[in-house]
């Protein structure tokens, strides 16, 4: 009888991709993916700890597994990722959720297969979290699950220590992958038919800074990947404004293979708050980057991350963030309420902002962003665009995705799945765009 696994992923794209690695390991042990926790022989929670809400939700979901374990004594439960890289969380799981069988962190993700084998032979719970990152392991099995898109790690860890952020503590220092290894992986993925290659790193702009060769830079990596033959697009995330170079902007501007959707997290519109966040750029510098992007890449779409309610954020500071969103007219704003993370500098700062105030600010910002996006959707009407023909609806209509990720329902049947296609946007109903082949 086949044995099934179910992986639940919390958090960012890095975690989504790492779940593909966990799936690869489970497949090599003979397990098959299933859609429901109830059908699984192994359940893995790949966790996040970026905000308190993520951790609370995960603990709630771990609690809910108790019943499944009661019904099926052979069920194996594993919890890993950023949350369990913190020692106190492991202690909490050990004490309150003893039916969790395998616990490991971010630095030893690639050892999961060993832990599975260890548990299967001993039936003793495994709690294994490493304090430090080790050298990059290139020999990783993967089971990719993101359609035409393939995630590719180009670096791990972060050296920036933004004062609110826990990532450097749970992901370790920056380590860049070898450029040739990345090239070979992307080449192989394109040959396999992947159409979007999304390069991942906590700050992709500092790719190569830890390698003793001046030619290993993010701009040179992009230039190199663009020489790979095939009709595919390259995206990347996330990008830190302090390190975004003119050279990178030029590569995006001049190369057809580069996606024109740029995610550039600003975090705040106030210089005082940016300083307290240890972001190391000013709003003037950020706006210069936006100007350069818009000037050199006329069709570029900029999205951002913003934190509201950072300690000491006054009404004036927030107004500056609000004005910035109005000015830049982002194509997407991921707005978060500041969540104190133990061990980070900002967690012990004075003047923490009350929850109701954070709520008010985040809602105000999201309403503005929604309005801007609505107006931008109108601007798509009667323009020429390129879509990747992605899938068919249940009614048999083809659906294309724009570079920025928006869906377009396509008129007619003259399309091939997985191909880039020039279209005209002909209509818009509610928030749905419609188009037809040129
Ligand atoms: N509280 C709220 N949001 C945070 N982010 C990172 N740390 C925190 C925190 N402590 C947000 C930032 C980052 C995104 C991935 O998550 O905006 O860019
Ligand atoms: Fe966190 Fe800043 Fe590193 Fe991004 S750059 S992961 S926000 S510390």
- The domain that contains 97 carries what CATH number? 3.40.50.12160
- Same-domain status, 348 and 423: no
The answer, yes or no, to whether any atom of ligand 2 lies below 6 A from the CB of 205, is no
The answer, yes or no, to whether any atom of ligand 2 lies below 6 A from the CB of 165, is yes
- At 99, is the pLDDT very low, low, confident or very high (cuts 50, 70, 90)? very high
Average pLDDT over residues 71-97: 96
Residue 120 lies in a domain: yes
pLDDT at 1 over 80: no
- Same-domain status, 98 and 175: no
pLDDT recorded at residue 98: 96
Average pLDDT over residues 396-400: 97
Residue 137 lies in a domain: no
- Same-domain status, 201 and 290: yes
pLDDT recorded at residue 136: 80
pLDDT at 135 over 90: no
- Same-domain status, 225 and 266: yes
- At 146, is the pLDDT very low, low, confident or very high (cuts 50, 70, 90)? confident
CATH number of domain containing 219 = 3.80.30.20
pLDDT recorded at residue 357: 97
- At 137, is the pLDDT very low, low, confident or very high (cuts 50, 70, 90)? confident
Find all residues with CB under 8 Å of 73, minimum gap 6, and list them.
none
- Same-domain status, 367 and 391: no
Residue 191 lies in a domain: yes
- Same-domain status, 176 and 265: yes
- Same-domain status, 432 and 368: no
Domain span at residue 104?
3-128
Atom of ligand 1 lying closest to residue 12 CA: 15
Residue 323 lies in a domain: yes
pLDDT tens-place string over residues 330-358: 999 999 999 999 999 999 999 999 999 99
Task: Choose the residue to mutate in 158, 170, 205 for probing ligand 2, maximizing ligand atoms within 8 Å of C-beta.
Answer: 158
pLDDT recorded at residue 140: 83
Pocket of ligand 1 (CB under 6 A): 50-51, 164-165, 265, 267, 305, 307, 336, 338-339, 341
Residue 138 lies in a domain: no
What's the chain's average pLDDT?
Answer: 95
- Same-domain status, 177 and 254: yes
- Same-domain status, 309 and 404: no
Number of domains in the chain: 3
The answer, yes or no, to whether any atom of ligand 2 lies below 6 A from the CB of 82, is no
Residue 136 lies in a domain: no
pLDDT recorded at residue 139: 78
Average pLDDT over residues 162-185: 96
Among residues 353, 378, 403, the one where a domain terminates is 378
Average pLDDT over residues 89-114: 96
Among residues 378, 398, 421, the one where a domain terminates is 378
Q: Give the ligand with the smallest distance to the CA of 51.
A: 1
pLDDT recorded at residue 145: 87
Task: Choose the residue to mutate in 167, 171, 173 for probing ligand 2, maximizing ligand atoms within 8 Å of C-beta.
Answer: 167
Residue 19 lies in a domain: yes
pLDDT tens-place string over residues 419-434: 999 999 999 998 899 9
* Residue closest by Cα to atom 13 of ligand 1: 305
pLDDT at 374 over 80: yes
Cα(363) to ligand 1 centroid in Å equals 16
pLDDT recorded at residue 134: 81
Cα(115) to ligand 1 centroid in Å equals 31
- Same-domain status, 320 and 422: no
- At 17, is the pLDDT very low, low, confident or very high (cuts 50, 70, 90)? very high
Cα(158) to ligand 2 centroid in Å equals 6
- At 254, is the pLDDT very low, low, confident or very high (cuts 50, 70, 90)? very high
- Same-domain status, 219 and 192: yes
Among residues 359, 378, 397, the one where a domain terminates is 378
- At 392, is the pLDDT very low, low, confident or very high (cuts 50, 70, 90)? very high
- Same-domain status, 348 and 394: no
Average pLDDT over residues 80-108: 96
CATH number of domain containing 433 = 2.40.50.140
pLDDT at 276 over 90: yes
The answer, yes or no, to whether any atom of ligand 2 lies below 6 A from the CB of 158, is yes
């Amino acid at each position: 009888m086949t044995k099934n696994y179910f992986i639940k992923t919390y958090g960012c794209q890095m975690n989504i991709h790492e779940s593909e690695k966990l799936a690869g390991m489970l497949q090599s042990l003979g397990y098959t993916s299933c859609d429901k926790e109830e059908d699984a022989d192994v359940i893995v929670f790949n966790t996040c700890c970026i905000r308190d809400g993520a951790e609370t939700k995960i603990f709630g979901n771990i609690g809910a597994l108790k019943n499944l374990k009661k019904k099926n004594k052979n069920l194996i439960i594993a919890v890993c990722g950023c949350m369990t890289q913190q020692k106190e969380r492991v202690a909490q799981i050990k004490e309150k959720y003893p039916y969790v069988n395998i616990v490991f962190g971010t630095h030893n993700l690639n050892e999961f297969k060993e832990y599975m084998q260890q548990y299967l032979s001993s039936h003793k719970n495994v709690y294994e979290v490493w304090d430090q990152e080790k050298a990059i392991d290139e020999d990783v099995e993967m089971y990719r699950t993101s359609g035409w898109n393939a995630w590719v790690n180009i670096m791990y860890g972060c050296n920036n220590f933004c004062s609110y952020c826990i990532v450097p503590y749970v992901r370790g220092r920056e380590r860049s992958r070898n450029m040739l290894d990345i090239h070979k992986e992307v080449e192989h993925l394109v040959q396999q038919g992947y159409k979007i290659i999304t390069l991942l790193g906590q700050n992709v702009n500092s790719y190569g800074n830890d390698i003793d060769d001046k030619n290993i830079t993010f701009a040179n990596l992009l230039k190199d990947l663009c020489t790979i033959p095939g009709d595919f697009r390259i995206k990347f995330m996330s990008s830190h404004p302090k390190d975004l170079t003119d050279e990178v902007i030029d590569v995006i501007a001049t190369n057809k293979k580069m996606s024109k959707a740029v995610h550039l997290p600003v975090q705040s519109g106030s210089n005082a708050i940016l300083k307290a966040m240890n972001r190391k750029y000013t709003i003037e510098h950020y706006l210069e980057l936006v100007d350069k992007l818009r000037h050199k890449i006329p069709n570029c779409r900029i999205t951002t991350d913003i934190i509201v309610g950072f300690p000491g954020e006054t009404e004036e500071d927030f107004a500056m963030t609000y004005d910035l969103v109005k000015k830049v007219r982002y194509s997407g704003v991921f707005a978060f309420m500041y969540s104190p993370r133990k061990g980070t500098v900002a967690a012990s700062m004075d003047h923490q902002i009350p929850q109701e105030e954070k709520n008010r600010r985040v809602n105000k910002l999201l309403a503005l962003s929604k309005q801007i996006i609505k107006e931008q959707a109108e601007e798509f009407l009667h323009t020429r665009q390129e879509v990747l023909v992605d899938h068919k609806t249940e009614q048999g209509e083809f659906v294309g995705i724009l570079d920025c990720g928006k869906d377009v329902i396509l008129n007619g049947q003259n399309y091939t799945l997985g191909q880039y296609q020039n279209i005209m946007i002909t209509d818009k109903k509610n928030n749905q765009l419609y188009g037809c082949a040129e």
